[in-house]
Structure 1
Amino acid sequence: MCRSLSLALVLSAIAVAAPAQLQFSLSFPAAAHAEPITGRVFVILSRDSVPEPRFQTHPFGRGVPIFGLDVNQLAPGQAAIIDGTVPGYPLSSVRDIPAGDYHVQGVLNVYTEFHRADGHIIWAHMDQWEGQQFAESPGNLYSTSQLVHVDPRAGGTIALSLAQVVPPVELPPDTRWVKHIKIQSRLLTAFWGRPIYLGATVLLPKGYDDHTAARYPVIYEQGHFGLEAPLGFSDDTTPAPPFLKALLAQYNHETRPEFYHAWTGPDFPRLIAITFQHPTPYFDDSYAVNSANNGPYGDAILTELIPYLEAHFRMIGAPWARVLTGGSTGGWESIALQVHHPDVFGGTWTLYPDPVDFRHYGMVDAYADTNAFLFTTRGRGFLSPQTDWHHPERSLMRAPDGQPLISIREYSRWEDVLGGHGRSTDQLEAWEAVYGPVGDDGYPKPLWDKATGHIDHTVAAYMRDHGYDLRAYLATNWARVGPQIMDKIHVDVGDMDNFYLNLAVYDLQAFLDTVSNPRARATFRYGRPEKGHGWQHATTARMIREMAEFITLHAPAGESMAAWKYR
């Protein structure tokens, strides 16, 4: 009994002497935001102060440590605590931070309550025309960056006051060449229960104001949210540094001054080019299709935005005079719009598209694989692992020489830190919001478990059966769609695309090369050797010339094109 008492006294003394665990206490003053906030708080650490830590978090960049926690009706002056139980990336916990001096910053991503037309009530971040960037979204709160000593063994509390408010986005002014449009969507407002907007940036051809009788073909360039001009156009003609020019040339991109001189020069096709802005509460871009989670973005773009543009700018407004292009996200959108709406668009120049066949959802076969994180399937190659004891990690991103850079497991954890319930507003969960079903909780149902990688094949089947697997959609609907898209699909991708997007393109080509009644006559070009994400077969100016020639060739008999073919 005495021995037990002595041991208890020793343990008690140790407990008293042990330092408090390391934690970060985040709060905001009423002067910054007077009402309680539902959202997500972040603590970010960096060894560098420039740029601010909040701009250094993405894994494709510096990837500094970030830790995230949901808050529900956090009141002014009330503290949110980020401690060792809160998930982080790339460090799993604040307990894993190496002792040292760090520039530390807190951010609060503000959520909005949506009462959707499907009956679900959810909380998510309402884009403020910044493209779902939590670090720079107007109305979000953040602390100033402060240099502090952090030592998990010593513990202690580091207080961060979220007293700064991100200001509104400064919209670029209209110019002679570039016009900006923003309209409220009736369809999307009805779905989300709050005002939702669509936008467009319009690049006009040389002579638009002088040739008032001319109507023009249109290039619809798809891609991530941005307010800059389409096709990389800029009237800043400062010569690009030699190293940048050489880097761009490796992937067949011209410099901005080179494109400016082509677009505004003599003997260049006179077309209008347009990019869309259609951010959602789940991503910076809707993928331009209808979606159970995002709502009727496809219908809104086709029946509200494009008619508005055609009413306010002199466009021909016929399918043969509407062509598509875009890369990556925009690549998927460009081919999806073409195959789902062949009666609206007349051709696509698709560049390194997001997965167009979900048997290669990156490195994952969404239908056959059981785990997104680990290679477990036998017999998928001459040197495929054949052992039950060794399951290699699947890569999400590689360098063009093949070196893996980040795994699917790591990127899934990164997204899980950014937001629960599919609210990371990042790439993998964006696909789930676009392609997948609504979960019982009203949020996107995940394709795989973010902790284990286990794939839910009911979600994969839903994605395929609702037309988002474009190769599968074409295979099912070729008799109807095929005659309308013959020779209208052109696809470019590097053979070592950083995100393995070339693999699904190979699958698409394998189908289109063998299909008959009718033949597809699609064009596929591959950048070799070691061409990564961003490769295209020609400069943008050269591709525009190809588009103009294609439009001319496919114009209805007797259609005069003299009005827009001026010098």
Structure 2
Amino acid sequence: MVVNERHSNQSGTGLPARRGETMMRHRTAWALIGGLVTMTAGPGAAQGGLRFEVSVPAGVRSEPLTGRLFIGLAASADPEPRIAAYNSARQRDGRVPFFAIDLEQLAPGRAAVVDARAIGFPYQRLKQLPAGEYWVQAIVNVYTKFARADGHTIWAHMDQWEGQRWAFSPGNLYSEAIRIRVDPKSPRPIRLSLTKIVSPIAEPLDNEWVKHIKIKSEILSRWWGHPMYLGATVLLPRGYDRNPSARYPVVFHQDHFSLDAPFGFTTEPPNPGPQLFAQMGREAGGKRESGYDFGRAWRTDSFPRLIAVKLNHPTPFFDDSYGVNSANNGPYGDAIHQELIPYLERSFRMIGQPFARVMTGGSTGGWISLALQVHYPEFYGGTWTFYPDPVDFRRYQLANIYEDTSAFRVPNTPYGLPERPFQMNPLGQPMGNVRELSRMEQTQGTKGRSAGQIDAWNVTYGPVGTDGYPRRLWDLSTGDLDREVAHYMRDNGYDLGYYLKQNWGKVGPSLVGKLHVYTGDMDHFYLAPSVYLLEEFLESTTNPYYGGAFGYGRPMKGHGWQPWSNADLMGIMAEHIASRAPAGTDLSWRR
């Protein structure tokens, strides 16, 4: 989910850590967001009340501008309102209001109008914004035109190796932050000029242990009609350079986009200051250590000499592709397995055989690790999957998408009762509901372009609409579920439990002993119920029996729980690899 599994900042990038962004982003003081509005400047602008007029000088950009325009309003200038608004939206705490509209071919020098028709978070409309002194700033998440191989032409944000984060994406246009009194009743327009451009990200440098890779994908470039890129961060074992003939097994650490090393590896002591989303990690329990402690273990003489890899595969819709082919993202599964992994195996002396490729990951990375093992059963040698996004869509969090009629309302409950929650703490106290998250994503972007969690699932699992954009599983305003979309997701292999049931005779023999799944019993995002359903099926298998393992953190263990430290997990996976190695294989990498 969107709550990344790391705490540290991306080294050298200037970007804040995304830890709280997989399945889902932590801490919520939820507030309602309104319906969808698409708007450009013109005679139809709403009359009366607060309005912002935002323009792009011809000297800054000479061509028409298409994208998503945000107005952030903050109590201070540090951080800048665009950054404060982005962080507030992703954390869903509602502390920094922002409003947004779509821009479609806005001409240089012409003003886009943000007025009563704009939608916002946490305030639905500008008229609800409390009057007062604010620091105000505008930013546009610039869209690129893609003429895809499927015949559709769409506009979406071309990731700039920032992980679909509109406040930080190089090339996005923004204004100076100004301090001004804002009154929703005032007809006086507030004018902002997009005179600044977000600078390129300073990517971290390679060192003895960590290498960064970025390659052009010909497969994806042909499909998207635009140059597309894949990448990886590679963590090398001790003695790698001193043993030029040695070959090593690989652990793929599946995760969101990140320039950090796998498992947070670092040789620098952790920052003692406050860390974003640290509370969720403390609530989850478990034994996962800091990246610094993991790094100390990795460098010891007794540690197994493995290569660890974190793959990067951002799309024009989200910070990662979920590692699979999909109708909306295109052939990412093909590109990863036919281009990226072969490149890595050639470049870093990996053994390059199925027994020596294993995976792990949590949340979104948990789903990826399980999905790739299931859909490429002979390519990988095993997965250790933690708190995965829903793996059986009869529990799509708490909804049964095949039987329920609404994502917002619990079936057969009287009107007026609390709606279906989206997030809780490990005590079971709800911290936000599906309606509120849906409305937040409406504000972040139209047509599946919010880079939020609900849209990420629609993009990955769902069909393409007639307009070329993703069809949604549910209407973000009403919550009404589209049964046709649900069945598409099921019938195309994204409901992993259903897929395994339908195909066990074919894939089961190649999965024996390879599936290991773990989650907290009180996962913040209600992920345990789908794991229970998956376990129920796999434990019922015969001819062959699946021969894997399930484990649950109890009592009251939340999102992020795992039963071992990452260092201990490496040892477990190393022994698994060794036990499946063909006779005569060099196992000197074990120590």
**TM-score, scaled to structure 1:** 0.92
Q: CA deviation at 1:61?
A: 5.1
Aligned amino acid, residue 135 of structure 1: A
Aligned to 2:181, what secondary structure does the other structure show?
strand
Unpaired stretches in structure 2, ≥5 consecutive residues: 1-46
- Mapped to 2, the partners of 1:331 and 1:133 lie a distance apart of 22
1:413 paired residue among 439, 451, 454: 439
**CA contact under 8 A between 1:248 and 1:255: conserved in structure 2?**
no
Residue 148 of structure 1 pairs with residue 174 of structure 2: no
Which secondary structure does the structure 1 equivalent of 2:200 belong to?
coil
Please tell me whether the aligned partners of residues 240 and 257 of structure 1 are also in contact (alpha carbons under 8 angstroms).
no
Q: Which residue of 1 aligns with 2:580?
A: 554
Paired residues, number = 538
Match of 2:308 among 252, 263, 273: 273
Counterpart of 2:466, as a letter, is: D
**Structure 1 counterpart of 2:79, from 44, 51, 69:** 51
Q: How far did 1:241 drift?
A: 7.3
Q: 1:461 aligns to what?
A: 487
Shift of 1:239: 7.8
The answer as to 2:209 corresponding to 1:177 is: yes
Out of 322, 333, 340, the residue aligned to residue 287 of structure 1 is: 322
**Aligned with residue 300 of structure 1, among 311, 315, 335:** 335
Shift of 1:240: 5.4
Q: Deviations over 1:95-121 (max 9, x none)?
A: 110111222211111100010001001
CA distance in 2, matches of 1:218, 1:545: 13
Write the mapping of 1:285-364 to structure 2, written as runs, cut at 5 A: 285-364=320-399
Q: Describe the superposition over 1:400-448 as per-residue Cα deviations: whole angstroms up to 9, x where unpaired.
A: 2222222111111111111111111111111111100000000001111
Match of 2:52 among 24, 27, 36: 24
1:437 corresponding residue in structure 2: 463
1:10-409 equivalence runs, <5 A: 20-56=48-84, 57-60=88-91, 62-63=93-94, 64-237=96-269, 247=282, 250-375=285-410, 377-378=411-412, 385=413, 387=414, 389-409=415-435
Letter in 2 for 1:458: E
> For the residues of structure 2 that align with 1:449 and 1:523, how far apart are their CA atoms?
37
**Partners in 2 of 1:162 and 1:206 — Cα distance?**
49
2:284/2:557 contact within 8 Å kept? no
What amino acid sits opposite 1:341 in the alignment? Y
Deviations 1:496-549 (A, max 9, x none): 111111111111111111222211122111112222111111110010010001
SS of the counterpart of 1:276? strand
Q: What CA distance in whole angstroms lies between the structure 1 residues aligned with 2:118 and 2:272?
A: 45
Separation in 2, partners of 1:464, 1:276 = 26
Query: Partner amino acid for 2:405?
Result: T
- Describe the shift of the 1:270–1:65 C-alpha distance in structure 2 as closer, same or farther (beyond 3 A): same
Residue 476 (structure 2) aligned to one of 450, 454, 472:
450
Q: Following TM superposition, by how much is the alpha carbon of 1:559 offset from its aligned partner in structure 2, in angstroms?
A: 2.1
Quickly say closer, same or farther: Cα 1:311–1:467, change in 2 above 3 A. Answer: same
- Residue 182 of structure 1 contacts residue 197 of structure 1 at CA under 8 Å; is this kept in 2? yes
User: How far, CA to CA, are the matches of 2:297 and 2:107 in structure 1?
Assistant: 55
Report the alpha carbon displacement of residue 137 of structure 1 after superposing the two structures with TM: 0.4
User: Partners in 2 of 1:115 and 1:427 — Cα distance?
Assistant: 25
C-alpha contact (below 8 Å) 1:237/1:260 kept by paired residues: no
- 1:517 and 2:543 matched: yes
Give the 3-state SS of the residue equivalent to 1:134 in structure 2: coil
Contact 1:112–1:125, Cα closer than 8 Å, also in 2: yes
Q: Tell me what 2:17 maps to.
A: none
Deviation of the 1:391 alpha carbon: 4.8
- What is the CA deviation profile of residues 58-116 of structure 1, one whole-angstrom value per residue up to 9, with x for unaligned ones? 25254322211111111222111111111112211001101112222111111000100
The range that moved more, 492-501 or 111-120, is 492-501
The equivalent position to 1:475 in structure 2, one of 501, 516, 522, is 501
Which range moves more in the overlay, 233-242 or 285-294? 233-242
The equivalent residue for 2:15 is: none
Higher RCO structure, 1 or 2 (CA under 8 Å, sep 6+) = 2
In structure 2, what is the Cα distance between the partners aligned to 1:365 and 1:495?
19
Once residues 61 and 390 of structure 1 are traced to their aligned partners in structure 2, the CA distance between those partners, rounded to angstroms, is 23
Q: Which residue of 2 aligns with 1:10?
A: none
Is 1:502 matched with 2:528?
yes
Contact 1:399 1:532 in 2 (8 A): yes
CA–CA distance in structure 1, aligned partners of residues 93 and 78 of structure 2: 12
Q: CA deviation at 1:249?
A: 9.3
Answer with 235-244 or 124-133: which moved more: 235-244
Q: Cα RMSD between the aligned structures?
A: 1.8
1:459 is paired with a residue whose SS is: helix
What CA deviation, in whole Å up to 9, does each residue of 1:115-137 have, x standing for no partner? 00010010111001100001110
Letter of the 2:390 partner, please give it: P
Which structure's CA Rg is the greater one?
A: 1
Distance 1:78 1:239, change over 3 A: closer
> What's the counterpart of residue 13 of structure 2?
none
Q: CA deviation at 1:51?
A: 1.8
Instruction: Give the SS at the match of 1:117.
Output: coil
Identity percentage over the alignment? 53
CA positional deviation for 1:390: 4.2
Distance 1:460 1:306, change over 3 A: same
1:423 to 2:458 alignment: no
Paired residue for 2:512, among 482, 486, 509? 486
Whether contact under 8 Å (1:248, 1:254) holds in the other structure is no
**Cα distance, 1:364 vs. partner?**
1.5
Q: Give the match's secondary structure for 1:77.
A: coil
Structure 1 unaligned segments of length 5 or more: list them.
1-18, 379-384
